[in-house]
Structure 1
Amino acid sequence: MDSGEMVEEGSNKVTDFPHFDVLSGDSAYSDHHYNQSNKSRKVQGSFSNPNSNVSKTIAKEWRILQKNLPESIYVRAYENRMDLLRAVIIGSPGTPYHDGLFFFDIVLPSDYPNQPPKVYYHSHGMRLNPNLYNSGYVCLSLLKTWYGAGVELWTKNSTLLQLLVSLQGLVLNDKPYFNEPAYGKGLKNMNESWRKASMAYNEDVFIYSCKTMLHKMKNPPKGFEDFVAAHFRSRGESILAAITAYKNGEAILGQYKKEAVVGATVSTASNLGASKKFRSNLSKIHSDLKSALRTISHSAMMSQNGKEKCEEVAAPDTTMAGQGSAERKPEELFGKFLKFLKRTIGC
């Protein structure tokens, strides 16, 4: 894919997508894994009553997320279901998850925050981390789905922000092989055997991460359709370049940097330890991703061309009133969010 094919212009760039937002309407969460949870009238009452402790706590959490989410984490909440959230974590540089999108559905209990949330990972049947099962189960001390002690466990002072940052930093890390408790000692006593095992695991992780990208491009979760398309239009060229670099032995898996491969040669492949199976899988995934990315870019260009044609047919409103209407839209949405927060905390 040539860089010219990557479309970053338009109104749905990643930078236009708020890190935190509240969506309205039942359809906004119709594909949420926990859509059918907390359905009883009594349980829902604890969330819909603005004077309940749980509603006030959730409203406070929303404000924390709105102000403090890292650049690589995005969250959507729901006006009609305060107990549900959906989050996406962008895989960090320096890990086999880099540039991937990892979605989590969250449901809060009726006695929140006394008990931790339940979290479901969108795995598409692939297990790319010891803590993330192919069933969607998330194994983490903070969620009380794994043993732990002290600060590792959820308390009434724990927060959703803490949970999301833990998923990113502790789970989606650079050496996930050692997240498996039985192998944890390998981090302290790293030798050639542990290094090879970790690298082999990372090779599988990266392939699964790329396959997850394909799933997300074809079937983006509700509320994140524009974000998924914009993310891969923006990062597509880099993703393909990283795959090529790993296949040719120009970079260590997880350590791709565009400027780092200048002058590298294919002869370094054996020294970096990439297996033949991995390089073969990379060739297939490169082809599949290139095709999917081209489709997304083409759709964006068609949409942009259609918009331009519509603007030619309809005389543009160049008055101050027309400009103000366009500029007020984000403010109106944010005002709606603030109004809802004030209502839920009773102030």
Structure 2
Amino acid sequence: MVEIKDSSNVRKLKEEFLRDFKRFDTVEDFSDHHYAAEGSPAKLSLWHLKFKGRPKNWVKDIQKEWKILDKNLPETIFVRACESRIDILRAVIIGAEGTPYHDGLFFFDIQFPDTYPSVPPKVHYHSGGLRINPNLYKCGKVCLSLISTWTGKKREKWLPKESTMLQLLVSIQALILNEKPYFNEPGYEKSMGTPLGESYSKDYSENVFVFSLKTMVYSMRKPPQHFEEFVRSHFFVRSHDIVKACNAYKDGAPVGSIDKGGVKKQTRQRGSLKFRINVTSFMKTVVDEFVNLGAIREANHRVGIASKKF
């Protein structure tokens, strides 16, 4: 069992930082942005951008998107837009409770093309080389009807006069980072509710959570620009809940059954032996990163497979 003891004063400072961290804000530059090398050169004025072969209202349309994001972003999505390159922005989505993505941070780089809003934005996922969802590829590709990277009904596709960046981000959160991502795979939704389909879904979600733990470590070791302190504060504050969830999973709780604070939801299901072993095996790496953050001052590192009899 891993125990956590942190400084209450430092924790309060981290919590205050997260409370004050604006859901939408602008930054000067994005040198590490996936689309930084595409589109307009850095530091072009808005006047220049208006006359670079783009639609007449291109700048106004993007500024309108900024206003919508500033007023309507949910508390689990944060966005930074670039003042010197208004065609790019970065978003982070916090994984929701009840999903195998809980407590994780998932980053996306976005670009408004020259012909926006006639065409949808481009989206790149910070994968860290991990495939955590059928819709999120190791290469960073995001597969979604709304951005024309997958087929879909007319109302599911990008509608130039109706679709918004806010809709796109909320769709990624709700449709991709969901409770049962296995059924996102084309055709698999037909098996939803069947014993075999639910069994495969459970196995997939268990693997996803382990990949989510690895994504946490990747984010802590290499936080994206302009979110460095956000990443550190987020995992400092949530380290308690993450460790409690991992301990519960080691003891057999099914993935996604742990509420914030480590409270188990009532369920008869049990996590698989493979899942319990995998969580136990990788947990030490996660705890070590929490130690590096200062979130854990003392830890019993008996988290190896040998410390737990399965």
Bucket of the pairwise TM-score, normalised by the shorter protein: 0.7 to 0.9
Aligned to 1:148: 152
5 Å-filtered alignment, 1:180-199, equals 180-187=185-192, 190-199=193-202
Structure 1 stretches lacking a partner, 5+ long: 301-347
Query: Following the alignment from structure 1 to structure 2, what is the Cα–Cα distance between the partners of residues 164 and 170?
Result: 10
SS of residue matched to 1:104: strand
Q: Is the 8 A contact 1:95 1:254 kept in 2?
A: yes
TM-score, normalised with respect to structure 2: 0.86
> How far did residue 199 of structure 1 move?
0.4
| Residue 252, structure 1, aligned to residue 254, structure 2 | yes
2:178 counterpart residue number: 173
Cα deviation, 1:47-100, whole Å, max 9, x if unaligned, reads 733994010011111011001000000000000000000000000011000000
Summarize the Cα distance change of 1:127–1:298 in structure 2 as closer, same or farther, 3 Å threshold: closer
The partner residue of 2:76 within 58, 72, 76 is: 72
Describe the shift of the 1:299–1:109 C-alpha distance in structure 2 as closer, same or farther (beyond 3 A): farther
Matched letter for residue 284 of structure 2: S
Equivalent residue of 2:196, what SS? helix
> Structure 2 regions of 5+ residues with no counterpart?
298-310
CA RMSD, aligned part only? 2.5
Give the C-alpha shift of residue 284 in structure 1.
Answer: 2.1
Structure 2 contact 236–295 (Cα < 8 Å) conserved = no
Work out whether 1:279 is the aligned partner of 2:279: no
Match of 2:121 among 114, 117, 134: 117
Residue 39 of structure 2 is aligned to residue 38 of structure 1: yes
Which residue identity does 2:226 align to in structure 1? G
- Contact map agreement 1:46 1:55 (CA 8 A) in 2: no
Equivalent position of 1:338 in the other structure: none
Residues in 1 aligned to 2:48 and 2:202: alpha-carbon distance in whole angstroms: 46
Matched, 1:222 2:219: no
C-alpha distance in 1 between matches for 2:69 and 2:264: 37
- Cα distance in 2 between the residues matched to 1:46 and 1:92: 41
Aligned partners of 2:274, 2:249: CA distance in 1, in Å? 12
Q: Which amino acid aligns with 1:256?
A: I
Deviation at 1:287, TM superposition (A): 1.0
C-alpha change, 1:238 and 1:37, in structure 2 (3 Å) is same
Aligned to 1:49: 50
Structure 1 residue 299 displacement after superposition: 11
Question: Per-residue displacement from partner, 1:159-183 (whole Å, max 9, x unpaired)?
Answer: 0000000000000000000000120
Aligned length: 287
Q: Deviations over 1:97-126 (max 9, x none)?
A: 000000000011112111001100000111
Give the conservation status (yes or no) of the 8 Å contact 1:21–1:76.
yes
Whose helix proportion is higher, 1 or 2? 1
Identical columns (%): 46
Offset at 1:13? 2.2
Cα pair distance change 1:186/1:226, threshold 3 Å: same
1:139 and 2:140 are equivalent in the alignment: no
Q: Cα gap change, 1:279/1:132 in structure 2, threshold over 3 Å: closer, same or farther?
A: same
Distance 1:298 1:48, change over 3 A: same
Asked if the contact 1:46–1:110 (Cα under 8 Å) also holds between the matched residues in 2, the reply is: no
Give the aligned residue type for 1:29.
F
CA deviations over 1:195-234 (Å, ceiling 9, x no partner): 1100000011000000000011111000100100110011
> In structure 2, how many angstroms separate the alpha carbons of the residues matched to 1:170 and 1:46?
38
Rg larger in 1 or in 2? Answer: 1
Letter paired with 1:33: H
Q: What is the aligned counterpart of 1:20 among 1, 18, 24?
A: 24
